[in-house]
């Protein structure tokens, strides 16, 4: 049995896998999906691609809210059960390093990761083009901007939930100004969250895996397990009707996480239900966070559905790792040394 290395979370939301299904994929949906529907905040038409974390005896979340002019910002939400959410009506009031109010030009696809005693919000922001924004908080009252880690253009950055070999570690996906018809995941490290370097290639899109043949990008913070870091990510296929976003899985080496130990050639989850196939952008399942219970191995996955809703799905560490290993195909080319 694979094990999650981390804290227990007794109040993790949960439903057992349906018994009457022929689907052999390792992730299944919450039957009450979507958990966040249209117009959940005054002035915000759609909340999707959002991240949650345990906090106190409940949960806290950072939510991508698309306002009535179509621009996205980040809103905070609170929940007792991680299913029903109440939102603050105002955008998160970031401040800069001097304590002055700071509002990014836009902010989308937030991740929320606790490292040691601090929560970090990482999102896609405007730095003369799409790049990575960051802020930190300990109390969810004061949110202080952290330096932009990378040059434009970049998206889908997410921190690992602990330092590795004494360094902060972040996954990201260098990109371009538009809808980026390419994309590989890289890893960077930092001693202080200001200076980032030692960039390493982790994974590329794969033409032989049609569902992720166009591009891939990081998803939730990787989950530490006794087999390595369980990495859920999004993979994109280009079809004659547009892009399709599915969820893939890989296992990275615990001490050297740019090394891919296993990677599934099959997706783990793909748009199937109406709220995933229809909406502002149909056929999008975009995972940004998980909740994990180390005692039971349960994992709850939060994903944006059709750029319109937030969906919740479940798996166990054992089921997902078994699936990834059974379907694994790693033939990453290490371009630094030119070998597979
Ligand atoms: C990506 C990002 C995501 C979005 C996805 C599908 O490029 O912008 O926020 O969910 O496209 O539209």
Q: Tell me, what's the pLDDT at 80?
A: 98
Ligand 1 pocket test, pick from 155, 234, 286 with the greatest ligand atom count within 8 Å of Cβ, gives 286
- DSSP for 286-336 reads EEEEEEEETTTTEEEEEEEETTTEEEEEEEEHHHHHHHHHHTB-----BTT
Residue 5 alpha carbon to ligand 1 centre in Å: 31
Tell me the two tokens of residue 101: 């109010």
Report the predicted TM-score, pTM, of the whole model to 2 decimal places. 0.96
CB 285 within 8 A of CB 234: yes
| Residue of the CA atom closest to atom 10 of ligand 1 | 307
CB 66 within 8 A of CB 73: no
Q: Tell me, what's the pLDDT at 331?
A: 66
Burial bucket for residue 202 (CB in 10 Å: 0-12, 13-18, 19+): buried
Cis preceding-peptide flag for 34 (omega within 30 of 0): yes
Tell me what the mean pLDDT of segment 176-199 comes to.
95
| Residue of the CA atom closest to atom 9 of ligand 1 | 109
| Residue of the CA atom closest to atom 7 of ligand 1 | 179
Above 70 in pLDDT, residue 31? yes
Residue 173 alpha carbon to ligand 1 centre in Å: 13
| Residue of the CA atom closest to atom 4 of ligand 1 | 307
CB 296 within 8 A of CB 4: no
pLDDT grade for 14, boundaries at 50, 70 and 90? very high
Tell me the two tokens of residue 146: 């952290």
Atom of ligand 1 nearest to the CA of 109: 9
Above 80 in pLDDT, residue 52? yes
């Amino acid at each position: 049995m694979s094990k999650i290395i981390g804290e227990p979370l007794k109040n993790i939301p949960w439903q057992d896998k349906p018994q009457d299904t022929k689907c052999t994929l390792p992730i299944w949906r919450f039957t009450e999906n979507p958990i966040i529907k249209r117009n959940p905040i005054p002035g915000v038409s759609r909340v999707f691609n959002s991240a949650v974390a345990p906090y106190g005896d409940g949960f806290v979340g950072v939510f991508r809210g698309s306002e009535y002019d179509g621009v996205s910002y980040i809103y905070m939400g609170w929940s007792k059960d991680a299913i029903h959410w109440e939102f603050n009506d105002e955008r998160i009031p970031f401040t800069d390093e001097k304590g002055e109010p700071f509002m990014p030009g836009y902010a989308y696809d937030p991740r929320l990761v606790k490292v040691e005693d601090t929560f970090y919000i990482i999102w896609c922001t405007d730095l003369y083009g799409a790049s990575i924004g960051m802020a930190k908080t300990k109390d969810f009252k004061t949110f202080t901007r952290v330096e932009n880690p990378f040059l434009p253009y970049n998206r889908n950055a997410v921190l690992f939930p602990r330092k590795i070999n004494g360094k902060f570690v972040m996954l990201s996906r260098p990109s371009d100004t538009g809808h980026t018809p390419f994309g590989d995941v890289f890893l960077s490290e930092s001693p202080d969250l200001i200076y980032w370097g030692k960039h390493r290639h982790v994974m590329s899109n794969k033409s032989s895996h049609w569902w992720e043949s166009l591009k891939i990008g990081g998803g939730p913070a990787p989950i530490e397990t006794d087999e390595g870091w369980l990495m859920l990510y999004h993979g994109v296929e280009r079809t004659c009707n547009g892009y399709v976003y599915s969820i893939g899985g890989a296992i990275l080496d615990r001490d050297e996480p740019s090394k891919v130990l296993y990677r599934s050639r099959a997706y783990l989850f793909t748009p199937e239900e109406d709220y995933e196939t229809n909406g502002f952008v149909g056929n999008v399942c975009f995972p940004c966070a998980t909740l994990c219970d180390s005692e039971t191995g349960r994992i709850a996955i939060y994903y944006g559905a059709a750029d319109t809703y937030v969906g919740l799905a479940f798996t166990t560490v054992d089921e997902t790792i078994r699936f990834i290993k059974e379907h694994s195909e790693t033939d990453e080319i290490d371009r630094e040394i030119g070998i597979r």
